[in-house]
Chains A and B, each alone.
Chain A
Amino acid sequence: MSAFARTALGLALVFLYAPILVLVVYSFNDSKLVTVWGGFSTRWYAVLFADGPLIAAALVSLKVALLSAAIAGVLGTLAALALDRHGRFRGRGAYTGLLYAPMVMPEVITGLSLLLLFVGIGLDRGIATIVIAHATFATGFVAVVVGARLKGLDRSLEEAAADLGASPARVFFGITLPLIAPSVAAGFLLAFTLSLDDLVIASFVSGPGATTLPMRLYSQVRLGVNPEINAASTLMIATVGLVVLAASWLTARRGQGA
């Protein structure tokens, strides 16, 4: 790499990660004042784990993320299979577009439309509505990840299994699913982090008793930033970072199978 490219990349990384780095560093600040360094300490992490409402919100977030990622994982995989397997059926392009559109839709609009829908059909807002909302926008992401793997899958593998007497169900569970499993898992993890990160949509569709971690943090920040928030954010960054790493590792492994 040339000196210029090295410098450019370095600057880009600083631009991207400096704010996060500051946040992480200040989460270990002993001082109560966010902007004044008072020495290294993990006291805010202790405070954090003693903060009942915050822990409750984290558990809500975790529950919502797991459930919505599971739903999106199944729906997204099925959608990708349908689009990949049925060749060029009528309206295939339109279906593909419809599936991917929620990914680029402004979150405010997704949140508002879901809120209107839930109010319209009389669904009580709470954890269930957040799960549905998150599954809705994450399905497209799963479909993209799984679809890419399916495109690279040798169709003759499934034909060979059928040729050897395997029923369509045995072909799917014995051949197709194991071969696309890494991408399904990657899609699930992606959906999981998207749900964990989301503030806007959750704010629209949540109800009393269903406060997610980002919602809780945001409402606290409005009263002023304190080191405890930094600590909570640092833990969240670590969680999301680990999950994304796992997802990209799974996606990179795809070449090995086939």
Chain B
Amino acid sequence: MHAPLPPSAPLLSLERITKRFGPHTAVDGVSLDLAAGEVFCLLGPSGCGKSTLLRLVAGFEAPDAGAIRLDGADLTALPPHRRPVNMMFQSYALFPHMSVAANVGYGLKGLSLSRRQAAERVENLMKLVRLEGFEARNPDKLSGGQRQRVALARALAREPKLLLLDEPLGALDRTLREETQGELRAIQRRLGTGFVVVTHDPAEAMALADRIGVIERGRLVQVGPARDLYERPANRFVAGLLGDVNLIEGRLGPDEPGGLRTVETALGPIRASGEGAAGAAVVVAVRPERLGLGGAGGLPGTLLEQTFLGDRIRSRIAMADGSVLRASAALPMTEPMPNVGAAVTVAIPADAARVLPA
């Protein structure tokens, strides 16, 4: 599919990129446009081809078909050292035989900067990533978070219009990761550099990205802001990738004015939004936090289990047909929760139910 064009002329544009490794197609006809200054996350499980796509843009791999354009100029045939994009590596790839300052300044050679300008640029970068005073250190004498910042400064040294980041926070522990996400966004806003971030972590993609592109087995299956993807996933894969979801199988009813459709399921008819041919096998996707427990007019079920998670309570409800739905309610709650084993009703609001292809 082709993602909708951002309002201004695209900074990066991928045109039907395909890359095969032997019989395996790693990237399959991906087309994508990126606006200047945008943070775009490529999200998918490991081995889905997202890193290969990044390496194609950087020039470490050559596509079997398609074209890569930056600011209208065709990059496809250029070797990596002639491409005006820079990359931050997952392993950071800091040069072990050079000091932090030499690492950060490595890309400045050949930029026709005077010695003083280059030194100034390194100094500013060290300030930007808050590593002043670490210039003479060796990279192995730094903590993981510091190494990550050196890698970022080094990749930004040539002031690229587009920075490629391969799992930039993958090697950091959880608390550091959240802090670094904020810093990364702040630096990006300040410099206005376009970011393409590869990640397998949906929370990270949602925290960082203006838009997310979900990749499934080499194909770009959906592109959009995190909220669109979460609330209106294109298929079960996207729905499940971005968070927990209840999937209820059924058959789609006829087209109706107003956009809502009725899906006949084993639980009874469910009103949901979405498209498809009448009579098609579909699933209805509902996020656990949108399921309402109790109240009149809901579907009957039995409360199986309740788990207290601090900020919310998760419940599992056995339905009449034997299937199990998951509900999640935010705390504190205004109404008391029913006891385990009690009969409950489950309400599925029409605006929370999405029709997806089965």
Measured CB to CB, the closest approach of chain A to B308, in angstroms, equals 44
A167 to B107, CA, bound (A): 11
Q: Name the interface residues of B90-119: CB closer than 8 Å to any CB of A.
A: 90-91, 93, 95-97, 106-107, 109-111
Tally B residues with Cβ within 8 Å of A. Answer: 25
**In the complex, residue of chain A having the shortest beta-carbon distance to the beta carbon of B79:** A162
User: Assuming the A-B contacts A156-B91, A166-B81, are A161 and B106 also in contact, with contact meaning beta carbons closer than 8 angstroms in the complex?
Assistant: yes
Residues of A within 8 A of B60 (CB): 159, 162
Number of A-B contacts (CB under 8 A): 65
Residues of B within 8 A of A175 (CB): 95
Contact check, B86 vs A164: say whether CB atoms are below 8 A apart.
yes
Contact check, A159 vs B97: say whether CB atoms are below 8 A apart.
no
Contact check, A164 vs B157: say whether CB atoms are below 8 A apart.
yes
A21 to B93, CA, bound (A): 49
A82 at interface by CB-CB < 8 Å: no
Measured CB to CB, the closest approach of chain A to B258, in angstroms, equals 52
B294 at interface by CB-CB < 8 Å: no
Contact check, B110 vs A156: say whether CB atoms are below 8 A apart.
no
Contact check, B87 vs A163: say whether CB atoms are below 8 A apart.
yes
A236 to B91, CA, bound (A): 46
Residues of B within 8 A of A161 (CB): 95, 106
A179 at interface by CB-CB < 8 Å: yes
A246-258 CB contact bits vs B (8 Å, 1 = yes)?
0000000000111
Residues of B within 8 A of A258 (CB): 96
From the candidates B97, B155, B158, name the one contacting A178 in the complex (CB within 8 A).
B97
**In the complex, residue of chain A having the shortest beta-carbon distance to the beta carbon of B157:** A164
Which of A157, A167, A256 has the most chain B CB atoms closer than 10 A to its own CB? A157
User: Assuming the A-B contacts A160-B87, A166-B106, are A154 and B81 also in contact, with contact meaning beta carbons closer than 8 angstroms in the complex?
Assistant: no
**In the complex, residue of chain B having the shortest beta-carbon distance to the beta carbon of A160:** B93
Contact check, A257 vs B97: say whether CB atoms are below 8 A apart.
yes
From the candidates A156, A163, A171, A256, name the one contacting B86 in the complex (CB within 8 A).
A163
From the candidates B79, B83, B89, B96, name the one contacting A156 in the complex (CB within 8 A).
B89
B63-94 CB contact bits vs A (8 Å, 1 = yes)?
00000000000000001110100110111010
B165 at interface by CB-CB < 8 Å: no
B58 at interface by CB-CB < 8 Å: yes
Residues of B within 8 A of A160 (CB): 87, 89, 93, 95, 154
Which of A168, A175, A179 has the most chain B CB atoms closer than 10 A to its own CB? A175
A143-164 CB contact bits vs B (8 Å, 1 = yes)?
0000000000010110111111
Measured CB to CB, the closest approach of chain B to A170, in angstroms, equals 8
Q: Name the interface residues of A184-231: CB closer than 8 Å to any CB of B.
A: none
Measured CB to CB, the closest approach of chain B to A250, in angstroms, equals 15
Secondary structure call for the A interface: helix
A156 to B60, CA, bound (A): 10
Q: Name the interface residues of A41-91: CB closer than 8 Å to any CB of B.
A: none
Which of B83, B97, B155, B158 has the most chain A CB atoms closer than 10 A to its own CB? B97
Contact check, B93 vs A157: say whether CB atoms are below 8 A apart.
yes
User: Assuming the A-B contacts A164-B107, A164-B158, A165-B109, are A159 and B80 also in contact, with contact meaning beta carbons closer than 8 angstroms in the complex?
Assistant: yes
Contact check, A165 vs B96: say whether CB atoms are below 8 A apart.
no
A170 to B110, CA, bound (A): 11
Question: Chain A, interface size: which category?
Answer: 20 to 34
User: Assuming the A-B contacts A178-B97, A257-B96, are A163 and B81 also in contact, with contact meaning beta carbons closer than 8 angstroms in the complex?
Assistant: yes
Residues of A within 8 A of B106 (CB): 161, 164, 166
**In the complex, residue of chain B having the shortest beta-carbon distance to the beta carbon of A170:** B109
From the candidates A156, A165, A178, A256, name the one contacting B81 in the complex (CB within 8 A).
A165
Contact check, A165 vs B110: say whether CB atoms are below 8 A apart.
yes
Contact check, A165 vs B111: say whether CB atoms are below 8 A apart.
yes
Measured CB to CB, the closest approach of chain A to B145, in angstroms, equals 19
Contact check, B93 vs A154: say whether CB atoms are below 8 A apart.
yes
Measured CB to CB, the closest approach of chain B to A90, in angstroms, equals 14
A156 to B171, CA, bound (A): 16
Residues of A within 8 A of B83 (CB): 163
From the candidates A154, A162, A170, name the one contacting B80 in the complex (CB within 8 A).
A162
A178 to B102, CA, bound (A): 15
**In the complex, residue of chain B having the shortest beta-carbon distance to the beta carbon of A171:** B81
Residues of B within 8 A of A179 (CB): 96-97
Contact check, B97 vs A162: say whether CB atoms are below 8 A apart.
no
A154 to B92, CA, bound (A): 11
**In the complex, residue of chain A having the shortest beta-carbon distance to the beta carbon of B82:** A165
Contact check, B89 vs A159: say whether CB atoms are below 8 A apart.
yes
Residues of B within 8 A of A166 (CB): 81, 106, 109-110
Measured CB to CB, the closest approach of chain B to A64, in angstroms, equals 33
Which of A162, A166, A168, A178 has the most chain B CB atoms closer than 10 A to its own CB? A162
**In the complex, residue of chain A having the shortest beta-carbon distance to the beta carbon of B97:** A178
**In the complex, residue of chain B having the shortest beta-carbon distance to the beta carbon of A158:** B93
Contact check, A154 vs B97: say whether CB atoms are below 8 A apart.
no
Q: What are 18 A-to-B residue pairs whose CB atoms are below 8 Å?
A: A154-B91, A156-B89, A157-B93, A159-B58, A159-B60, A160-B95, A162-B60, A163-B81, A163-B86, A163-B155, A164-B107, A164-B155, A165-B81, A165-B110, A165-B158, A179-B97, A257-B96, A257-B97
A contact set with B: CB distance below 8 Å: 154, 156-157, 159-168, 170-171, 175, 178-179, 256-258
Other 5 A-B pairs with CB < 8 A, given A159-B93, A171-B81, A257-B96: A163-B81, A163-B83, A164-B157, A165-B109, A256-B96
The 9 nearest A-B residue pairs measured at CB: A164-B107, A160-B93, A156-B93, A162-B80, A162-B81, A156-B89, A163-B87, A157-B93, A257-B96
